[in-house]
Each structure stands twice: as structure tokens, then as C-alpha cells.
Structure 1
Amino acid sequence: MPLTWTIKPFADLTLTELYDLLQLRSAVFVVEQTCAFQDIDGQDQAAYHLLGYSETGVLAAYARLFDAGITYPEASIGRVAVSPEFRRFGFGRELLRQSLAILETRFGAQPIQIGAQLYLRSFYESFGFRQHGPMYLEDDIEHIHMVRT
């Protein structure tokens, strides 16, 4: 089951796309992870939004992408989410491949920093990310900074 990928700056998102991405982020980061936090953080306007839609029009995968100097000194990827109903198809790997390719195309080859949940360290390491600094708690969830050079 292939996904249809779309990349857009905030100003170009349709209302439906904005609703879909906020709904997916809420389902994964607030409900599934039982984490009350301020998801709408004022950074969406500076991001490119990568949306992966299923054949039935459901948002299955999402990430937001930033040029260097916005969230970190390096370019970055954040709010990486795959809908639970689509996790068995390898869309997380495809989402990260798409994210890395888009960052390089839009902003050139450069280091990328992420704030990753600790349990996903090996997943990100498989894409060349390496831990950069100690574990820290963010919203009571163990995280690590990782950088891909």
C-alpha cells in the first residue's frame, strides 16, 4: 500500500490538511502517549509539513521539517508520527527517508539534529543519527538529542 507524499509550507496547507495533521499529532503524542503538552507551539508556521496519505485519503504519516537555525542550529525533523493503524507497513522508515531527502533538496547537505524518544534510538541510528548529549526528560518521556552529519 503506497502513500501519496505532499510537502508544503504552513501557508499552503489546506484547512483539511491542517486538521488532519493536528488530529494525527494529537492521537499519537497526546492520547496514545498519555502526555498533556502544548503541541501547537508556534513553530508550525516556520516548518515544511510532510504528509503521507493512504489510498483512502487518511493521513498515515507526518513530520515537520526545519531549516537550520529555527529549532536547532542544524536543520531538524520533528513531530514524526505514523498513525497506529498504518505502523505495520514500514511507513516510519519511508517517512524518515522522505524527510531526509526533502531537507537535502530544499536546504542542501548539512547536519540534522533531532530530539528523539530514547526507545527509538536504534531506529534513528539506522539512518546515521548518533546520540549527542545525555538523556533528558521532556514531558516525562525519556529523550536524547541526535545528530546526523
Structure 2
Amino acid sequence: MAAFPQLRSTLVIEWQDLHHSQLTPSSLYTLLALRNEVFVVEQDCPYQDIDGEDLLGDNRHLLGWRDQQLVAYARLLKRQDDHMPVAIGRVIVAPQARGQKIGYQLLTQAILSCERHWPEQAIHISAQAHLQAFYGHFGFVPVTGLYDEDGIAHIGMARGEDAPTPA
């Protein structure tokens, strides 16, 4: 069982862990709107967010709702090759919900989902470099050097049996 940072938040988030086939048109629209708001507009990063991965294979979507508003989201990608790690991506806490430790809850839920659906597979994340310590709290270790992704410094990190141990 995974060890996670202790939370002192009393906020109640309703979590949905959905296979892509379970997404309603409304929830798909809502999650795409949040991704666009944060990744394209807020981060001033014009790129094609709708990349063809959302509705493939065993990919999943983790949605966190509070008062019927989407306040947290992550996409869980399961590659067709079972030797490839699962990837957690598009990790978002909505702007109006930041500063409330929801990111810790979101990542905890994302890891638990990966462990439940794809046990014994390593988990990869392409982390914005300034969040390396945050992901480190969850057992992620760097597996690449820094690289540029859409004008933002990132670092590849992994967690699980196949993840390298830090030197």
C-alpha cells in the first residue's frame, strides 16, 4: 500500500474515476474546458490539448467535484504495451480551488487508481520542473533531465518497482 503525505484539509471532494467510455458529453466538455482554461489560456501555452488520447484503450479520467464544480482533474494513460509505465498527466487544480491542498488529494486518488487498475506497473509523470518536490512527496523520482515542453521546463519522474532509485 502506498504511503501518502498527511492532509489537514476538511474539504469534501466527490471523486469520479471513469473509464473514457463512462464520460458523459457534459463531463467531457467540462474537463476539456478546464484543461483549456489552465493549460492554454492561463499558462499562455498554445498547443493542441485534444491530442487523440482521451478516448483510447483503457485510459481513464479522474474528476474531483465540489459543489457541482470541477475543481480537480487528471488523465491516466495506459499504453497498449504492458511494459510501458502508466502515465498520469493533465494534472489540474482549478484556479478558484488552489491553496486548499486539493492537489495532494488529487495525486493520491490518481496513484490509487493506477494501483487498482494496473497493479505492479510503474507510474510516469512529465512534471513541471517547479513541482518536482511536490511529486517527490509521493515517491516519484527523476528519470530524465530537464526538458522544454511547450515553453515550460519539465522533468520526467517515475514511481513504482521499475522506477530507478535516487543516487
* TM-score of Structure 1 vs Structure 2, range by shorter chain: over 0.9
Please, which runs of 5 or more residues in structure 1 have no aligned partner?
none
Structure 2 unaligned segments of length 5 or more: list them: 1-10, 161-167
Normalising by structure 1, report the TM-score.
0.94
Number of residue-to-residue matches in the alignment? 147
Report the equivalent of 1:83.
94
Q: Report which of the two has the higher share of helix.
A: 1
1:133 is matched with 144
**Does 2:102 align with 1:102?**
no
Q: Name which of structure 1's ranges 86-95 and 72-81 shifts more when overlaid on structure 2.
A: 72-81
Could you tell me which of 48, 70, 87 is aligned with 1:38?
Answer: 48
Following TM superposition, the consecutive aligned residue runs of length 4 or more in structure 1 with deviations greater than 3 angstroms are none
Identity %: 43
Shift, 1:81, TM fit? 0.3
1:80-137: CA deviations, max 9, x gaps? 0000110121110000000000110111132111111101100001100011111110
- Quick one: distance in 1 between partners of 2:79 and 2:121? 9
- Indicate the RMSD between aligned Cα atoms, in angstroms: 1.3
Question: Which residue of structure 2 aligns with residue 146 of structure 1?
Answer: 157
